Homo-oligomer: A and B are copies of this chain.
Amino acid sequence: MRVEIWSDIACPWCYIGKTRFEKGLAAFAHKDQVEVVYRSFELDPRAARGVTAPVVEMLAKKYGRTLDEARGMEEHVAANARAEGLEYRTEGRDHGSTFDIHRLLHLAAARGRQEQLLDLAYRANFAEQRSVFDPEVLLALAVEAGLDEAEARAVLADEGAYAEQVREDEREAAELGANSVPFFVLDRRFGISGGQPAEVFTQALEQAWAGRELTAAAPAGEACEPDGACAVPQG
């Protein structure tokens, strides 16, 4: 079974939801037969590259609140994160464009290091005082994730590298009706929106597993059997 997870590194519920999903997956009987793929979804696709603002200020401005009230909103999320055993700092985190991070995550996927980079980027953004909007930090995370430094640097420097893959993921999200993240898709049959409790993920995995029969799209054609026989004896 295959699970695709649309998420953004800047999204707290994605950070929390990833851990909750992993707990839900750990309780699923067929967890060894589940492949997980992460897909790109920019929370703020209009954000300009290189322009950042403190998250708390952004929240205060967006909702017309004081900075203290905005901190309270962050504390609500932080409490959920901590309940999952995740570190979460409510100060010093920036908001900005995550396009380059998504491009780098696609490079990491091509090199088999996607989840390593994703976990490091989440930790940098939410738990540590490292800005994922700083290209040098991104480069350091890429190297920590096991990517080749020169290759990662080249991808970061070339704005077109893996850009189409990011856009394609976002188009697919729209087609699948995902208008917020995290968004989980199981075998392209079932969708789950949001950072749900772990048990919801376990139940969804069980539901998807139970309904896995394929529909034949056509009568069988010429094929090779497992005994090595391919050519049908003629006449």
A residues lining the B interface (CB < 8 Å): 1-2, 8, 10-14, 17, 33, 41-45, 47, 58-59, 62-63, 65, 72-74, 76-77, 80, 95, 110-112, 168, 171-172, 175-177, 179-183, 185-197, 200, 203-204, 207-208, 212-218, 220-234
Contact = CB atoms under 8 A, between A and B. Distances in A.
Contact of A110 (B41, B73, B112, B227): B112
A228 B216 CA distance: 42
A77 to B, nearest CB: 5
Nearest to A188: B187
B43 A13 contact: no
B12 A212 contact: no
Nearest to A11: B224
Nearest to A173: B226
A223 B181 contact: yes
Contacts of A11: 223-224, 230
Contacts of A58: 228
B47 A228 contact: yes
Contact of A224 (B12, B110, B207): B12
Most buried by B among A8, A76, A189: A189
A110 to B, nearest CB: 5
Given A10-B228, A76-B232, 9 more contacts: A2-B188, A13-B222, A73-B232, A73-B233, A182-B224, A187-B188, A189-B214, A195-B222, A203-B218
Contact of A223 (B182, B189, B226, B232): B182
